Chain A
Amino acid sequence: MASTAVPGDGPAGRGLLPVPPALREVLPDGGLRRGAAVSVAGGDTGLLLALAAGVKETEGGWAAAVGLPELGLAAAEGYGLDLRRLLVADDPGPHWAEVVSVLAGAVELVMLRPDGPVAPKLAARLAAVLRRSGCVLLVAGPWPGAVLRLGVRSGRWFGLGDGYGQLAGRQVEVVAEGRGSAVRGRTARLWLPDEHGAVRPVREPQALEHPVLDHLAPDRPVTAHPVTAGPRATGPRPLEQAAVV
């Protein structure tokens, strides 16, 4: 019933669901095509959340998370999700497909981790529901018939030394593969997340030459790193806190 309810903007407004600017270049259409299923291979939660953050740009749009009880809500907020417009169904169990098809009629985007492997027939049925409603389905894991498959390659965390520093960001290479116009693999090098917990493109290509491993060398000063020298350097120092105790 609700799945037949087309969102108010109608077929004309059915183009794309916006994504944060940093992710635009990696997506063939520059956004998430409404009514499509996108698979985040490997289930990288950070990428999943970053992709979902664009829902905020739509007018009063809601998002839903189905079967993702371990979603870091604070991280989701960092990426730009509006938690006040997020519905969570932690344990849908075998009812996940029913829940997704009902929610698809009401929200702009559903994040999903299905309860086990998905039969192609079921995926096709849900695809029809999604097309009708214009809702985007982001699946953590494989999905039969996904329009687009996104993955994270060579993730590397920055900011930690040998007993000092704090996590200040992760550099990843996001890879997109898809059907049709997006048949060629696209890649983008991103901070996912950056030091503020959001997503942004990597500007200094040489940054990758200083991975965390190098920090273990005691002669390399940590301030040489572009990220730790950033605005977060004034954040809470773990050992100072310890002295108070």
Chain B
Amino acid sequence: MSSTSGTSGARGTNSTSGTSGTTEDADRTPRVLVVWCPDWPVVAVTGDDPVAVTEGGRILACSAGARAAGVRQGQRLKLAQRLCPALELRDRDPEAETRRFEPVVAAVEAFTPRVEVIRPGLCAIPVKGPGRYFGGEEALAAKVGTAVAEALARRPVPDAVPGAEPVPEPAPTPTPTPTPTAPEPAAEPPTAPAPAPEPPTAHVGVADGLFAAVLAARAGVLVPQGRTAEFLAPYPVGALGDEALAELLGRLGLPTVGAFAALPPEAVADRFGPVGTVAHRLARGLQPRPLVPRDQEPDLAVEQRFDPPEPLAEPLVFVARTLAERLHQRLAGAGLTCRRVAVEVVCADGRAASRLWRHEGRLSATALAERVRWQLQAWQGAGTFAASVSGEGGGFTLLRLAPDGLSPDQGRQLALWGQAVADDRVERAVARVQAVLGHAGLRRIEPSGGRGPGEQAVKVPWGEPYEAAAPADAPWPGRLPDVWPAVVLRDPAPVRVLDGAGLPVTVDGRAGVSARPVLVVFQGREERVEGWTGPWPAVEYWWDQALARRRARFQVVVGGGRALLLTVEGGAWYLEAGYD
């Protein structure tokens, strides 16, 4: 993902393409500075070194030690654990991520109030104003880098959030002295004494437009004004973030962003429609959508006042859901979509806080309300309102959601979400259940591809868009036949399979079975095998060492007329599913 092929060295060599775009568009793309903290989900959970954060049964992020052992983003847990046996697995904790990112945002906020949080671990500011004030882009980037490094070097305060689970902190080290102005925050050497954990690093990048700036931050470079298209040119088209389009472009012989950018815009619009146009504009270092001058920006903000002031945060979360729904209705009524949403809270004593969250027309009302909740908890954790809320007569008086960066809605949501159209009744019930169980507590199903019974469909939290990783209609050699097991275990359970002599049955590399299985021993219970078939070998990702997986599946009927699906992998047998 974070291929650094687009650093300044590569820029000079590739001058054939990418210069075509910037001439005909009058709208100058605003300069953006992005602060990127790598592996933020890992930073937020704080574990011992080989640690990885998981989401949906796959690796979301991992620490440096784990990466050295071959653990990668998107890997299956089992494989990751095999590659790195000492690996510690943690569930993702978005609230902790937001909370721990708060000091970073606060540090950046010292430069300009218009900080835009893209997600925890990634935030952006416009360069235009602060750049001039702080003496140029380079000076600004250096100052922001230093400030962020200082914020990151401070140990997080132990959690004081009511209702949030405590973050397990290893050995509370006394607050180390802030590293005295590290000039190069990206490559900070571990000068601190050995027991103190290395503070998380941050990278700063500047480029034209947010999309390029994020890539620049990953590469840690400042892209000069107007040369963003050149900077982007060597990146693979996959960097544009549209998988289907990237695959198609690859097949058309346009492997890099530069090659794609060199196409004439009219032809792209003709062939790929609005989605292609957006990607093409990004590839040329322009804004994804041209800014549309409007006579007067309609005020679509929604707000709720609390009188008397509300001392607790929870009621605000409930209100946020209704507000988010109302906001979406108003946006839909005006045929607009917004790029960002500002979450604003005002307290009885006049203190106020505001934070921008990225929207892009992708968030549902529920997902937006969820972000409000994260934000409120983060502010509470940082003690932003400690004095205002706890005091006598204190509390929140206003919650406001204001859309920002309005542009005409081109129906992106429908194109992205292939889900069945849910009526109001279902949406409302879903929202209520999610209020009880959390955002991921209620999920919908998307078809997926694979050989095993658990890979035929994935569960997606309601309200989140889903892009299929593996196509369902592709041929899957070695896929199981049509009668599928009715019970699929979450984690395959270890079993023993014995032959007539009481020895374990093995499967060799040519899928030969050592002996006829006679007994299946599961949780100490012995079951006689009455019929068996197999193996169905499933050899996956043999071309990729890190992902490669060899398995063989067996169908077995055991005593009492029950059928089981057994898997053998690495010499060990597992019960994967039951035919009920």
Binding site for B on A (CB under 8 A): 1-2, 5, 7, 44-46, 49, 60, 62, 69-78, 82-92, 95, 98-99, 102-103, 105-107, 154-157, 160-170, 193, 195-197, 211-213, 215-216, 232, 235-236, 238-239, 241-242, 244-245
CA distance A174 to B511 in the complex (A): 39
The range of chain B's interface size is: 35 or more
Tell whether, in the assembled complex, residue A87 and residue B483 are in contact, meaning their CB atoms are under 8 Å apart. no
C-alpha spacing A76/B453, complex, angstroms: 11
Contact B445 A88 (CB under 8 A): yes
B445 touches A73 (CB 8 A): yes
Cross-chain contact of A154 among B429, B445, B561 (Cβ < 8 A): B561
B-to-A contact residues, CB < 8 Å: 419-420, 422-423, 425-426, 428-430, 432-433, 436-437, 441-445, 447, 453, 456-457, 459, 462, 477-479, 481-490, 510-513, 516, 530-537, 539, 555-557, 561-563, 577, 579-580
Interface on chain B toward A: helix, strand, loop, or mixed SS? mixed
B513-A241 in contact (CB<8A): no
Cβ-defined partner of A70 (8 Å) among B488, B531, B533:
B488
Complex formed: what's the CA distance from A98 to B516 in Å?
50
Task: Give the docked Cα–Cα distance between A161 and B554 (Å).
Answer: 12
**Closest residue of A by beta carbon distance from B423:** A60
- In the complex the two chains form, what is the Cα distance from A227 to B284 in whole Å? 61
Q: Is the CB of A241 within 8 A of B537?
A: yes
| 22 A/B residue pairs, CB under 8 Å, sorted by A | A74-B484, A75-B483, A84-B419, A84-B444, A87-B443, A105-B429, A106-B428, A107-B429, A155-B561, A157-B531, A157-B557, A160-B532, A160-B533, A166-B481, A167-B481, A167-B579, A212-B561, A213-B530, A216-B531, A238-B533, A238-B536, A241-B536
**B285 CB → nearest A CB, Å:** 39
Asked whether A241 lies within 8 Å of B429 as measured between CB atoms, the reply is no
Task: Collect the chain A residues with CB atoms within 8 Å of residue B419's CB.
Answer: 84
Which chain A residues lie closer than 8 Å to B577 at the CB level?
Answer: 72
Q: Could you say which residues of chain A place their CB within 8 Å of the CB of B533?
A: 160-161, 163-167, 238
Tell me which of B422, B487, B555 contacts A166 (CB under 8 A).
B555
Contact status B456-A73, CB under 8 Å: yes
CB-CB < 8 A to A69: which residues of B? 490
In addition to A91-B437, A102-B436, A212-B531, 4 A-B residue pairs with Cβ atoms within 8 Å of each other are A84-B419, A87-B426, A211-B561, A212-B557
Contact status B487-A70, CB under 8 Å:
yes
Q: Are B537 and A242 in contact (CB under 8 A)?
A: yes
A161/B429 in contact, CB under 8 A: no
A240 to nearest B CB, angstroms?
A: 10
Q: Which residue of A lies closest to B553 (CB)?
A: A238
Complex contact A45–B580 (CB within 8 A): yes
Contacts of B537 in A (CB 8 A): 241-242, 245
Chain B: minimal CB distance from A29 (Å): 25
Report if A241-B477 is in contact (Cβ < 8 Å); known contacts: A87-B430, A89-B441, A92-B437.
yes
Bound Cα distance A23, B513 (Å) = 40
Chain A positions within 8 Å of B429 at CB level:
2, 102-103, 105-107
List B contacts of A161 (CB < 8 A): 531, 533
Residues of B within 8 A of A165 (CB): 531, 533
Q: Among B485, B511, B562, B563, which residue has its beta carbon within 8 angstroms of that of A242?
A: B511
A99 touching B579 in the complex, CB below 8 Å, given contacts A75-B486, A163-B513: no
Select B484's contact among A75, A103, A170, A236, beta carbons within 8 Å.
A75
Verify A72–B488 contact, CB threshold 8 A.
yes
Is the pair B443, A95 in contact by a Cβ cutoff of 8 Å? no
- Asked if B511 and A107 make an inter-chain contact with CB atoms under 8 angstroms apart, the answer reads no
Q: Which residue of A lies closest to B579 (CB)?
A: A167
A236 and B481 within 8 A (CB)? yes
In the bound complex, residues from chain A placing their C-beta under 8 Å from that of B425 are 2, 5, 7, 105-106
Which residues of B lie under 8 Å from residue A215 when comparing CB positions? Answer: 531
CB distance from B519 to the nearest CB of A (A): 15
**Closest approach, in angstroms, between the C-beta of A133 and any C-beta of chain B?**
10
Q: How far is the CA of A168 from the CA of B457 in the complex (A)?
A: 22
Whether the Cβ atoms of A87 and B462 lie closer than 8 Å is: yes
User: Which B residues are CB-close (under 8 A) to A84?
Assistant: 419-420, 444-445
Known contacts A87-B430, A163-B516; is-contact A49 B531 (Cβ 8 Å): no
When chains A and B are docked, how far (Å) is the Cα of A178 from the Cα of B470?
Answer: 45
**Cβ–Cβ < 8 Å partners of A7 in chain B:** 425
The answer to whether B483 and A195 touch across the interface, beta carbons within 8 angstroms, is yes
Distance between Cα atoms of A90 and B442 in the complex (Å): 7
Query: Which A residue's beta carbon lies closest to that of B482?
Result: A197
Known A-B contacts A92-B441, A103-B429, A235-B481; the reply to A46 vs B580 at CB < 8 A is yes
CA of A203 to CA of B459, assembled, Å? 37
- In the complex the two chains form, is A156's CB within 8 Å of B443's CB? no
**Residues of chain B contacted by A232 (CB below 8 angstroms):** 481-482
Q: Given A72-B488, A155-B562, do A103 and B483 touch, yes or no (CB 8 Å)? A: no
List, in ascending order, chain A residues with CB within 8 A of B430's CB.
Answer: 87, 106
Closest-by-CB residue of A relative to B456 is A74
A74, A107, A195 — most chain B CB neighbours (10 Å):
A74
Partner of B477, one of A44, A77, A244: A244
| Chain A residues within 8 Å of B423, by CB | 60
Q: How far is the CA of A199 from the CA of B55 in the complex (A)?
A: 35
B477 to chain A: closest residue by CB: A241
Contact between A83 and B579, CB atoms less than 8 A apart: no
Q: Which of B429, B478, B488, B539 has the most CB of A within 10 A?
A: B429
Q: What are the residues of chain B within 8 A of A212 when measuring CB–CB?
A: 530-531, 557, 561
Q: Which 8 A-B pairs have the closest CB atoms?
A: A242-B511, A160-B531, A106-B429, A74-B484, A74-B456, A45-B486, A73-B457, A75-B484
Shortest Cβ gap from A209 to chain B (Å): 15
A89 touches B531 (CB 8 A): no
The CA of A236 and the CA of B538, in the complex, are separated in Å by: 13
CA distance A72 to B482 in the complex (A): 13
User: Least Cβ distance of A200 to chain B in Å?
Assistant: 13
Give the Cβ gap from A27 to chain B, nearest Cβ, in Å.
20
Instruction: Tell me the smallest distance from the CB of A155 to a CB of chain B, in Å.
Output: 5
